[in-house]
Amino acid sequence: MTAVFVNGNPESSAIWGPLLAALGRTDVVLLSPPGFGAAVPEGFQCTLTGYRDWLIGRLEVLDGPVDLVGHDVGGSTVVSVAMARPDLLRTWVSDSLGVFDPDYRWHDLAQQWQTPGAGEASVAELLGGSLGERAERMVALGIPPAVAEELAAAQGPEMGRAILAFYRSAAQPAMADLGKQLEAAAARPGLAMIGTEDRFVGTEALRRRSAARAGARAELLDGLGHWWMVQDPERCARILAAFWAGQ
């Protein structure tokens, strides 16, 4: 059984390194969405539907069904796939279920990215500067220095364009409209990773509500934030392993 991990913004697949080391699985595929650690193919649309269709295409060529895990942009894309093509999955895991709730409001940075002019200035500040400066910004978010350096190497203007395109395509009511289909994700076992200190993907109440609608088990990660997979990889590995073993 293959485990597929999909990273988010502003990242590359390096974000999974500590967690994968703790898991010790060898049947792993790392998929970086175009613009987020992978090149953007000519003509590719870095939008909600573009990323969903991209991930479906990548899963279709694997020997499935798979255990699919997503974080941030990757997390919302995983849920979109679970709703549209559950036949490709054995299980799914996401930390981004809250964004599908009708009461969800995008965080302040996302609202900047969704605003013409302000968004361009924001991504230039986030992704600009030297490799060392970008790495320092990632460390300030709580990411270990070695991982931060790998993430910084993947950042640049192409990622900035992907950020703007994705978040503008996801401006409300787009996410709420997609969330109307959340019940379809219950066709396969799901797990919602809920970091109590994560301020980007909705309140704990919104995330629990979306998880219930999607038929997913809610796992509370007390004390962990948006980057739970590097903050306590051993604990998170135990949670994932137990979830998979129970299916």
The tens digit of pLDDT for each residue in 61-104 reads 999 899 999 999 999 999 999 999 999 999 999 999 999 999 99
Q: Is the distance from CB of 168 to CB of 113 less than 8 angstroms?
A: yes
Provide the mean pLDDT of the chain. Answer: 97
Cα separations in angstroms, 64 against 1, 129, 247: 7, 41, 15
% residues pLDDT > 70 (the chain): 100
What are the CA-CA distances from residue 227 to residues 37, 66, 112, 141 (Å)?
A: 16, 23, 21, 9
Instruction: State residue 1's pLDDT score.
Output: 81
**Residue 62 has what pLDDT?**
97
Domain boundary assignment for the chain: 3-105+174-245
Please give the Cα distance from 10 to 154 (Å, whole number): 9
Beta-ladder partners of 92:
68, 190
Neighbours of 118 (CB within 10 A): 11
Of 11, 208, 10, the C-alpha closest to 100 is 208
Fold classification of 3-105+174-245 is Rossmann fold (3.40.50)
Instruction: Quote the pTM value.
Output: 0.97
